[in-house]
Chains A and B, each alone.
Chain A
Amino acid sequence: MKALREFVDKQKPHFEKGGRFEKLHSTFDAFETFLFVPNKVTTSGAHIRDAIDMKRTMIIVVLALIPPLLFGIWNVGYQHFLSHGMTPDFWPMIGFGLLKVLPIIIVSYVTGLAIEFAFAQARGHEVNEGFLVSGMLIPLVMPPDVPLWMVAVATAFAVIIGKEVFGGTGMNILNPALTARAFLFFAYPSEMSGDSVWIAEKADAFSGATPLGQLLVLDTDKLPTDWSMFLGTIPGSIGETSTIAILLGAIVLVATGIGSFRIMASVVAGGLVMGLLFNLWGANEYMNIPAYQHLIMGGFAFGTVYMATDPVSASQTNRGKLFYGFLIGFIAVLIRVFNPAYPEGMMLAILLMNVFAPLIDHYVIQSNVKKRLKRAKAVAA
């Protein structure tokens, strides 16, 4: 550790003002702060000082993403061999999964970070860590068979159009990872939906539809059991199948206070309320799906825990978070039931509410202002 610190300190003058590589200061700064907690402190104004900075925050989110990632790697292998009618041991499945998932992760990180560094360099900013999380989220919401160049194009689109045009990390109005997924969903629908993309190199005879896909063709009797949907041994995007792994991540996020519990709880509440309303109505088969099944199917759980809670694009006020979350769950189930051709209602619901989050905050703040003015008047009178 000490040798590394010394090495970094030795290189530092080259990147300071007047040094040989002055132009690459942002890049150097990014690596230095990645290795060591920076010793810079704010000198003016009143600031809350805390040991946790953005890098540590992001790293915790990445840690929380590990359970769905590991499960996803195993499941990619499991589904592949299952479709071929084989049941190999644990390790070959992991091996096959790694072979499929690792390239996607690498492509996502390399493309995204290259663009981030280029922009930070051109603008003379520090390199922000936001992409450490987005770069991991993007592979987890991809189907295992997605072509790598599509991952690269979608990542580039998400980072440039979803984030950099607005000014970089912290300024984006949409969740970058979902922007990438939505881009692919509309640009290359044949690679992002249907029966054939959810299992890597699947055998032709095997139906590879996700539970939501089976609903579309009304194969409700072929739906996997609740238990396997909860456990995650079903075809789907790499990281979203296992509700239980996602719950583990949720515990980490809530315990460290990084993910908002209010948002998660209200998304679940919104989904349940809408599901129950449809159950009462019960006009067709989609409406009769038990409300709780919506929570374990498709990307609902993943979106609830990792996407809706994105601190940048979510509502900021506590009361706003409740409305924001509730509407996400509500709209996600609404889209699923009314338009089964768009199976991933969760993605569209979160993106839509991302756009409305500032408006919700505005009304929450205004109502608070009004209430306090009223109280002030009452006291004065």
Chain B
Amino acid sequence: MSTDKQEREPLFSAKNRKLLTNPLNIDNPITVQVLGICSALAVTAKIKPAFVMALSVIVVTTFANLIISVMRNGIPPRIRIIVQLVVIASLVILVDQVLKAFVYDVSKQLSVFVGLIITNCIIMGRLEAFAMGNKPWPSILDGVGNGLGYGIILIIVGFVRELFGSGTIWGYHVIPEAFYDFGYKNNGFMILPPMALIIVGIIIWIQRSRNPELIEEN
């Protein structure tokens, strides 16, 4: 492969932009590929942990994609899964330590779910499907895109659940006291994980009715 003769691709060519934007919509890791659901249900009762989780996953997908893409030609195919896992695990431990050092309370709320990013199928899937066969720069874009696609769903779900479940957003009360005086009550169901599943389901429903090409034939 001689890159000299080829015309250099601009950094944000149409193809590269797609890598970034597709995961936000028609190739969303949660609502279309239905990956990483467990953490989406577990950490979205409030926006703040959802946001931190999203950030952590973006960091991990981006750097894991970059590192694997750089090493891709040197990894023996037979042991590639182990190599990928080592890379992901190291990154997750780094993220975990950073969270513990700087946002200890959120880190406590997220508990094991930061550690479980290692098993998040999105990351492994991107490494296998993309980083193993593409150059570093597109891999970075793909990592950021998928991290964002995951994060945006987490934040939407977290927003709805916190607003109706606790009457707050980012910990601040937004539903006026007067509502409560009239008999309004926070919806306890929103705090429970099943409601997160239902909200994800509703997002999938809305997305598919807007993009008919996503509807499977059956």
A interface vs B, CB < 8 Å?
147, 149-150, 161, 165, 183, 186-191
Give the CA-CA distance A189 to B201 in the complex, in Å.
24
Q: Is A186 touching B183 in the complex (CB atoms < 8 A)?
A: no
Give the CA-CA distance A201 to B188 in the complex, in Å.
24
Closest residue on chain B to residue A164 by CB atoms = B205
B187: Cβ under 8 A from any A Cβ: yes
Q: Which of B185, B189, B190, B201 contacts A191 (CB 8 A)?
A: B185
Q: Is B205 touching A165 in the complex (CB atoms < 8 A)?
A: yes
B interface vs A, CB < 8 Å?
183-185, 187-190, 192, 198, 201-202, 205
Closest residue on chain A to residue B205 by CB atoms = A165
Q: Is B188 touching A147 in the complex (CB atoms < 8 A)?
A: no
- Complex interface: chain B residues within 8 A of A147 (CB): 183
Q: Is A186 touching B185 in the complex (CB atoms < 8 A)?
A: no
Give the CA-CA distance A183 to B183 in the complex, in Å.
18
Closest residue on chain B to residue A190 by CB atoms = B185
- Complex interface: chain A residues within 8 A of B190 (CB): 187
Q: Is B189 touching A165 in the complex (CB atoms < 8 A)?
A: no
Taking A147-B183, A149-B183 as contacts, is the C-beta distance between A161 and B198 under 8 angstroms? yes
Give the CA-CA distance A146 to B181 in the complex, in Å.
16
- Complex interface: chain A residues within 8 A of B187 (CB): 187-188
Q: Which of A149, A165, A183, A188 contacts B201 (CB 8 A)?
A: A165
Give the CA-CA distance A190 to B187 in the complex, in Å.
11
Q: In angstroms, how far is the closest chain B Cβ from the Cβ of A165?
A: 6
- Give me 5 other A-B pairs in contact (C-beta within 8 A), A165-B205, A188-B185, A190-B185 excluded: A149-B184, A161-B198, A183-B189, A187-B189, A191-B185
Closest residue on chain B to residue A185 by CB atoms = B189
- Complex interface: chain B residues within 8 A of A189 (CB): 188
Q: In angstroms, how far is the closest chain A Cβ from the Cβ of B197?
A: 11
Closest residue on chain A to residue B194 by CB atoms = A186
Q: In angstroms, how far is the closest chain B Cβ from the Cβ of A184?
A: 9
Chain B binding surface SS class: helix
Give the CA-CA distance A150 to B187 in the complex, in Å.
10
- Complex interface: chain B residues within 8 A of A187 (CB): 187-190
Q: Is A188 touching B198 in the complex (CB atoms < 8 A)?
A: no
Q: Which of B188, B202, B205 contacts A188 (CB 8 A)?
A: B188
Give the CA-CA distance A149 to B183 in the complex, in Å.
9
Residue of A147, A186, A189 most packed against chain B (CB within 10 A): A186
Give the CA-CA distance A186 to B188 in the complex, in Å.
6
Q: Would you list the 10 A-B pairs with minimal beta carbon distance, nearest first? A: A187-B189, A186-B189, A187-B187, A147-B183, A187-B188, A188-B185, A161-B198, A189-B188, A165-B205, A186-B188
- Complex interface: chain B residues within 8 A of A186 (CB): 188-189, 192
Q: In angstroms, how far is the closest chain B Cβ from the Cβ of A144?
A: 16
- Complex interface: chain A residues within 8 A of B183 (CB): 147, 149
Q: In angstroms, how far is the closest chain B Cβ from the Cβ of A159?
A: 14
Give the CA-CA distance A180 to B201 in the complex, in Å.
18
Give the CA-CA distance A149 to B185 in the complex, in Å.
10
Q: In angstroms, how far is the closest chain A Cβ from the Cβ of B166?
A: 13
- Complex interface: chain A residues within 8 A of B202 (CB): 161
Closest residue on chain B to residue A191 by CB atoms = B185
Residue of A150, A183, A187 most packed against chain B (CB within 10 A): A187
Give the CA-CA distance A165 to B202 in the complex, in Å.
9
- Complex interface: chain B residues within 8 A of A190 (CB): 185
- Complex interface: chain B residues within 8 A of A188 (CB): 185, 187-188
Q: In angstroms, how far is the closest chain B Cβ from the Cβ of A121?
A: 15
Q: In angstroms, how far is the closest chain A Cβ from the Cβ of B13?
A: 40
Q: In angstroms, how far is the closest chain B Cβ from the Cβ of A179?
A: 11
- Complex interface: chain B residues within 8 A of A149 (CB): 183-184
A-B contact pairs, 22 of them (CB 8 A): A147-B183, A149-B183, A149-B184, A150-B185, A161-B198, A161-B202, A165-B201, A165-B205, A183-B189, A186-B188, A186-B189, A186-B192, A187-B187, A187-B188, A187-B189, A187-B190, A188-B185, A188-B187, A188-B188, A189-B188, A190-B185, A191-B185
- Complex interface: chain A residues within 8 A of B192 (CB): 186
Closest residue on chain B to residue A182 by CB atoms = B189
- Complex interface: chain B residues within 8 A of A165 (CB): 201, 205
Closest residue on chain A to residue B182 by CB atoms = A149
- Complex interface: chain A residues within 8 A of B201 (CB): 165
- Complex interface: chain A residues within 8 A of B205 (CB): 165
Q: In angstroms, how far is the closest chain A Cβ from the Cβ of B214?
A: 16
- Complex interface: chain A residues within 8 A of B189 (CB): 183, 186-187
Q: In angstroms, how far is the closest chain B Cβ from the Cβ of A173?
A: 13
Give the CA-CA distance A147 to B183 in the complex, in Å.
8
Give the CA-CA distance A120 to B202 in the complex, in Å.
19
- Complex interface: chain B residues within 8 A of A191 (CB): 185
- Complex interface: chain B residues within 8 A of A150 (CB): 185
